[in-house]
Chains A and B, each alone.
Chain A
Amino acid sequence: MSQNKTSTSRRDFLLKTITLAPAVAMGTTGIASLGLSNSAQATDSAPLAGPQTARDYQPVWFSAEEFAFIKAAVARLIPADERGPGALEAGVPEFIDRQMNTPYATGNNWYMQGPFDPDAPKELGYQLPLVPQQIYRLGIAEADAWAKQQHGKAFAALSPAQQDALLSDFESNKASFKQLPAKIFFAYLLQNTREGFFCDPLHGGNQHMVGWKLIGFPGARADFMDWVERGERYPFPAVSIRGERA
């Protein structure tokens, strides 16, 4: 009974406090908006039927070729497999494209005055004059050039095994890029892929909360008074900031 009690009080709490957030209509079947009727039963709802796919998305910042690289690369970094959907299915490419138009991508809160010494000890931190927009633009061009040099085709056209081998070369800096270290490009790509897989769906990634479902993170529930002391599995599904339910 404590489950029902928690759910109900949760709903009441949200109804009282969420009034500032517009109730968003959810287009996809199987997702109940919080605050609507019968949300108390949503904990028992079945997982989404059928294979998970990301919604259609046209990139705003990346070119078609660049976006093809992003889609191919993130699908290898967090692949779809027997544990569930991967980065591609979670909408990580959309997330990264949208991030390119945020202050983050222009290094808005980074100190970017020179002189720059990229050869400084690594413990002294990032010392390149490049911001994420430049890291992606230069890095994808270099990665595709490297792929063509190794296999005669752009990265996106290669087999998964070839792609994995190239990503390992980027990660280890074995691939020699001319404009920036391959490992720097790889590090940003991997970090942003993880962000897009586990962020709130508000940012375009983690669609249908597939990242959160994978690990058991309940998202924006943000009230665990009744669960603090219990060493047992937390039973409620994830919710997002917009009120979607996994």
Chain B
Amino acid sequence: MSTKIFKHIQSTVVPVNIENIDTDQIIPARFLKATTRDGFGNNLFRDWRFDENDNPKRDFILNDPLYSGKILLAAKNFGCGSSREHAAWAIADYGFDAVVSSFFADIFKGNALNNGLLPVQVSDGFLAKLFAAVEADPHAQVEIDLVDQFIKISATGEMENFEINPYKKACMTNGYDDIDYVLSKKELIEEFESNR
């Protein structure tokens, strides 16, 4: 089964400048009762986006028409807490292709990579530049290139390289997934079992 292919994007950015965003904020537990992967985008950041009467909260950035795009920009330690993959599904379903932060929680990072959502980890300094660029111009364009592993602020040309496991990079740029790979090693697994 293939996942979405990711090679290069250029887009405007939605900045959510909050540290330690846990997956309970990305998708609260009460929305985890679905049994398919679809539709989670409607409830992305649910309690920050909507009040108790389901009216959009004006002061939350996802409700600000000035900001849109395929890149979610967040402060450090993004995706901590619960292992719920629904968080990655919600971000991707809402329309984001990449999340940029200076630090990602392990399980979230793995979940994102398994769903064609690229986590781009940048330095604290470059993160500050990104936030500044979007603050100065909500329509600022940012490029993310997975093939050459860089992120660039289009207007200024400022850029930084980012790390990614070469195997996961190959999966994302080709659209194949872990299960295909592990299944191809089935004989090794059976051999391991018989030698125990």
Tell whether A and B belong to one assembly: no
